[in-house]
Amino acid sequence: MLAFALPAWSQDDVPALTQQRQSYKLARIALTTEQTQVFKDLKEQLTNYPLYPYLVYEDLKRRLGSAPDAEIERFIETYADTPLAYQLRGLWLHELFDQDRWTTFLDAYDGRADPTLQCYDQRARIRAGHLEGVIEATKQLWLVGFSQVSACDRLFEWFASQDAFTDEIIWARIDLAMQYGNPALAGYLAKKLDAADRAWVALWQRAYSDPRGALAEPALRIDSDFTRKIVADAVLRLADQDVGRGKAVWENLRADYAFDTAEQDRVARDIALLSAYRHDPRAPAWLAALPASAVNDDVRTSQARAAMRASDWPALRTAVESMQDPSDEPLMWQYWHAKALEHTGQPTKARQLYRGLAKERDYYGFLAADRLKVEYTIESEPLLANKAAVGTLMEIPGIRRAYELLRVDAETEARSEWNLLLKGFDVEQMKQAAVLASKWGWHADAIRTVALIEEFDDLELRFPMPYGDDVAHFAQARELDPAWIYGVIRRESAFAARAISSAGAQGLMQLMPTTASLTAQKAGLPVPTAGAVFDPERNIELGSAYLRELFVHFGGNMALASAAYNAGPYRVQEWLPEHRALPADAWVETIPYYETRGYVQAVLAYTAVYEWKQGRAPVRLAERMEPIPSASQTFARR
């Protein structure tokens, strides 16, 4: 791998690099432990090492409060091709503000979209007497439906003393706060209004927390622009709690107010869409009863999904054919249109659509191939015909830095370097970069890079198979298809062993710490210590055990188990049909969570691709996707 990746350096350089990496790590430790002279000595030995800028940065960051401006500016200019320049400027701006160096701050500020620095910028302009445009910029920062960063507090105090700060602008932000679902902010803002207005805001807040109680208030019996706004919000909040009651209340009171057509359409449409989202049996009738002015593609989509769930093929065909813009998910609508045609006496047209769709290497393409009983279209085409040019990328300093950062276990910094490089690369360079990252074993970023240029045909690059021994071992131990485990890993982390989701899921198979611990206990395995699930072998061991647990829990149904792996078994249990089994494709298509819906489809399709990569004929999705039993059937099975 080194011979491929480092053509500019001879093999004799490799031991020297190994020593430099060790010295770099020691230098970072020396700096954090305040061994200043040790750090300086090691730093001087590493002036030719690609990561030397990182040592200069860490040293300068540590003494930023006392470093001369000229030294900081010199670093920013010298290392402008690194993420460090941007990072240091940000730290310097905070330091300048803290030191009340307003003029220098204004000279150094680069207009970055950081609310804290944006507020600092306006405060600096006020202090420097540069007031032109400050009011308008402050309005933009003020008019949001959420609490701004605390750095804006002083700016907003100044704004409150200006003539431009009117009751109208306070009400505008209260409106945004309520739209944002932030009644607490609305209440805070109401303190700036008089008593009568505060009472109206309090009533609006009550409409959010106690819609039935709010609607009974005598004050809301007066018809006005404002009371109509509160009434509409209260009705929709009530519908969120009980969609039937919300619908009934709306029908009873809407005539008492002068709602315009657009507002009547919005409320009626939102109630009908909510009922469809929750698979309420009344949803098809409510959607159909909407006036033509209220019908949009969201309504048509909900009608189509309700028809899928009811196997109402004429209704499905009508909904799909009436859509004005099916371009968001063309393959999905092509598949369901074909299926509706197939079941409404148009087999020839259906087969024509299926044939076109079956050429796609995609969930819907595979489903279409199943309808036609033809082989799946799974072919791989190399991203680059000539990979020799890839090695020349190592002449680019940023590429060398990214590689070295990976070698010293600094993947976050490596990704920052990579992202900065990609912004300046043309398509051919991005292709080369993707191949190079794959050769490094940096699969997640290789996959992400080709996605940016929408190149999806190199299956060796897009569907790698690292950790093969671990996957094979635990697949056999758990009686699972190894291709399914690979499909889950590919969707969950794209093989980023140290991935952490926003929710806190960790590692290759994205396990929550509590899930990992409970799974270990149930499987009779040692409970993982903090950070242990980042180890690939340990992660696959626990992730496959959890996948097996879900597979058994849901009676061997792969679609249900996959959905539960993403959304949790309790939610999936809630999504089961109440009274009768559903075809799996219809159930998957009507999963309420968009993320989970796409997740299940991707995992099933990826599993087929991984079977192909393992030299096996893919099991048809039609065979894997068993009918989804009703909740009563599932409980009976347990």
Q: Which residues belong to the active site?
A: 492
Secondary structure of residue 502 in the 3-state scheme: coil
Secondary structure of residue 281 in the 3-state scheme: coil
Packed helices 468-478 and 482-492: angle between N→C axes, nearest 10 degrees: 120
* Nearest Cα to Cα of residue 515 among 3, 503, 631: 503
Q: 529: exposed, middle or buried (C-beta count within 10 Å: 0-12, 13-18, 19+)?
A: exposed
Strand partners, 500: 506
Token digits for 109? Answer: 């500020």
Please enumerate, as own/partner, the contacts of 465-473 that have beta carbons within 8 Å and a separation of 24 or more: 465/610, 465/613, 465/614, 466/441, 466/495, 467/495, 467/508, 467/536, 467/537, 467/540, 470/536, 470/537, 470/540, 470/541, 471/540
CA angle 634, 637, 638 (to 5 degrees): 90
DSSP per residue over 218-251, as a string? GGGGS--HHHHHHHHHHHHHHHHH-HHHHHHHHH
Token digits for 124? Answer: 């600096």
The neighbour count for residue 458, using CB atoms within 10 Å, is 19
Tokens 């009686």 appear where?
Answer: 479
Give the DSSP H/E element, type plus range, for residue 586.
Answer: helix 584-589
Tokens 């609490």 appear where?
Answer: 147
* Nearest Cα to Cα of residue 541 among 504, 508, 564, 493: 508
How many whole angstroms separate alpha carbon 443 and alpha carbon 465? 10
The backbone torsions φ and ψ at residue 229, rounded to the nearest 5 degrees and listed phi first, read -65, -45
CA angle 382, 383, 386 (to 5 degrees): 80
How many whole angstroms separate alpha carbon 474 and alpha carbon 451? 30
How many whole angstroms separate alpha carbon 440 and alpha carbon 248? 62
CA angle 134, 139, 140 (to 5 degrees): 100
How many whole angstroms separate alpha carbon 150 and alpha carbon 169? 20
How many whole angstroms separate alpha carbon 66 and alpha carbon 78? 20
How many whole angstroms separate alpha carbon 294 and alpha carbon 262? 8
How many whole angstroms separate alpha carbon 491 and alpha carbon 595? 11
Q: Tell me the residue type at 253.
A: L
Alpha helices in 242-329 (DSSP H): 243-253, 261-277, 283-288, 297-310, 313-321
Give the contacts of 597 (CB within 8 A, at least 6 positions apart): 588, 589, 591
Give the contacts of 335 (CB within 8 A, at least 6 positions apart): 353, 357, 364, 367, 368
DSSP per residue over 443-493, as a string? HHHHHHHHHHTT----HHHHS---SHHHHHHHHHHHT--HHHHHHHHHHHT
